[in-house]
Amino acid sequence: LGVTVVDVAKEAGVSAMTVSRALNKPDSVPAATVARVKDAASRLGYVRNLMAAGLRANRSNLVAALVPTLSGPVFLDTLEALTRGLAGRGYHLIVGQTGYGGDGTASFLADLISRRPDGVVLIGTALTDSDRSLLRSSKIPAVELWDLAAEPVDMLIGFSHEAVGAAVADFLVQLGRRRLAFIGANDARSLRRWQSFRHRALEAGLVEPVAHLVSAPALLGDGRRALVELCAASGPFDGAFCSSDMLASGVLMEAGARGMKVPSDVAVVGFGDLNFAADLRPSLTSVRIDGPRIGELAAHALVMRMQGKSIENRVIDVGFEIVSRASTHGGSAPATA
């Protein structure tokens, strides 16, 4: 793998420059020469060194992605679509995990920036001030995902968690529910949904909603325990917003176990519309976010900017959709078969 253009050049009986041209823009070189060069290259097992090319071109064809963690299913679809979209255009993705522990982010970003990425993707990440200024001054195209932050560093593709909270509250109110509960993880985005959910409920004249928060990751078992505790500690409630489908799944399960009818006793709304939501019993009403689309849009916007083109909108709200299923509209289907 120490084979360089010079080696290939010797093998093919041409100069290094001709090798470079034959491989990168074959049109500028006679077909016969191209063939000779390509042959020599494959014979020697030549693989172009992108570090050197990048250094020369001041362009790495690298995109840095900063995520809280790779585990946890939330951002996966987005990350997958993003990686795919970038790979298709000749970019590679380099990932950094910040962990959920607030600070330390600075070093992660600086770390990644030392690779001279042509673009940066920030998923579900709260930026420190020093990071913001680093990004700003570095002039690297950046896109924040999954969160309609107040003041994006550069580009932004996401949706409003506040709008979600309010919409779900409205949704439950319109179903005639009057005593709401929130079950969610205590991460920043979930809490913003909760605040907004609560606020809208109060606006609608409902009693103060009850909340049960668990620490991330929110598991199915947390949902079960949450229902147990809410039933024991609070007054009755007839509508619950769970900030993840896993939690909601646990709530449905526990409700079944205690003979609570869903949705007649309590309507349940999840978040994420994960691939099992429609197949639960009862099927789960959930807030659907188009994760892959966020990834695709991000790839597109980033590529545009990395090619020097400008884009129409720096901020794109992909919105969300409440997919109504039996856990809120199950007039006919009882909670347990």
Specify which residues 180 forms β-bridges with: 239
Judged by CB under 7 A, which of 45, 57, 70, 110 binds DNA? 57
Beta-carbon-side half-sphere exposure of residue 26 (alpha carbons within 13 Å) = 9
Separation of alpha carbons 35 and 128, rounded Å: 52
Asked if 302 is part of the footprint of a second copy (rule: CB under 8 A), the reply reads no
Closest to DNA by CB, 18 or 105: 18
β-bridge pairing 285-288 and 267-271: parallel
Please pick, from the candidates 10, 16, 108, 261, the single residue that binds DNA as defined by CB under 7 A: 16
14 binds, among DNA, a second copy, none (CB under 5 to 8 A by kind): DNA
Nearest to 144 by CA among 323, 297, 261: 297
Q: Answer yes or no whether residue 125 interacts with a second copy by CB under 8 A.
A: no
Least distance CB 23 / DNA (angstroms): 6
- State the binding partner of 5 from DNA, a second copy, none, CB within 5 to 8 A by kind: DNA
Given 11, 14, 164, 297, the residue binding DNA (CB under 7 A):
14
Rule CB under 7 A: choose which of 10, 20, 115, 256 binds DNA.
20
Among a second copy, DNA, none, partner that 253 touches (CB below 5 to 8 angstroms by kind)? a second copy
Beta-carbon count within 10 A of 199 CB: 15
Question: Should residue 45 be labelled a site residue for a second copy when binding is judged by CB under 8 A?
Answer: yes
β-strand partners of 240: 181, 268
From the list a second copy, DNA, none, partner contacted by residue 30 (C-beta under 5 to 8 A by kind): DNA
User: For residues 194 and 164, what is the distance between their CA atoms, to the nearest angstrom?
Assistant: 9
Q: Least distance in Å: CB of 91 to DNA?
A: 15
| DSSP string computed for 178-196 | -SEEEEEE-SHHHHHHHHH
**Does residue 55 belong to the site contacting DNA (CB under 7 A)?**
yes
For 9, the 3-state DSSP assignment is: helix
Q: Please count the other Cβ atoms lying within 10 Å of the Cβ belonging to residue 310.
A: 7
Joined tokens for residue 325: 């299923």
The token pair that represents 161 in the structure block: 């968690």
Q: Which of 93, 156, 168, 322 binds a second copy (CB under 8 A)?
A: 93
In 3-state terms the chain splits into helix, strand, coil percentages (rounded to 5) of: 45, 15, 40
Q: Which helix (H) or strand (E) holds 136?
A: helix 129-138
Q: Does 98 bind DNA (CB under 7 A)?
A: no
Site of interaction with a second copy (CB under 8 A): 1, 45, 47-52, 54-55, 60, 62, 69-73, 76-77, 79-80, 83-84, 87, 92-97, 110-116, 134, 137-140, 217, 219-221, 224, 246, 249-250, 253, 256-258, 275-276, 278-281, 336-337
Site of interaction with DNA (CB under 7 A): 2, 4-6, 14-18, 20-21, 23-24, 28-30, 33, 46, 48-49, 52-53, 55-58
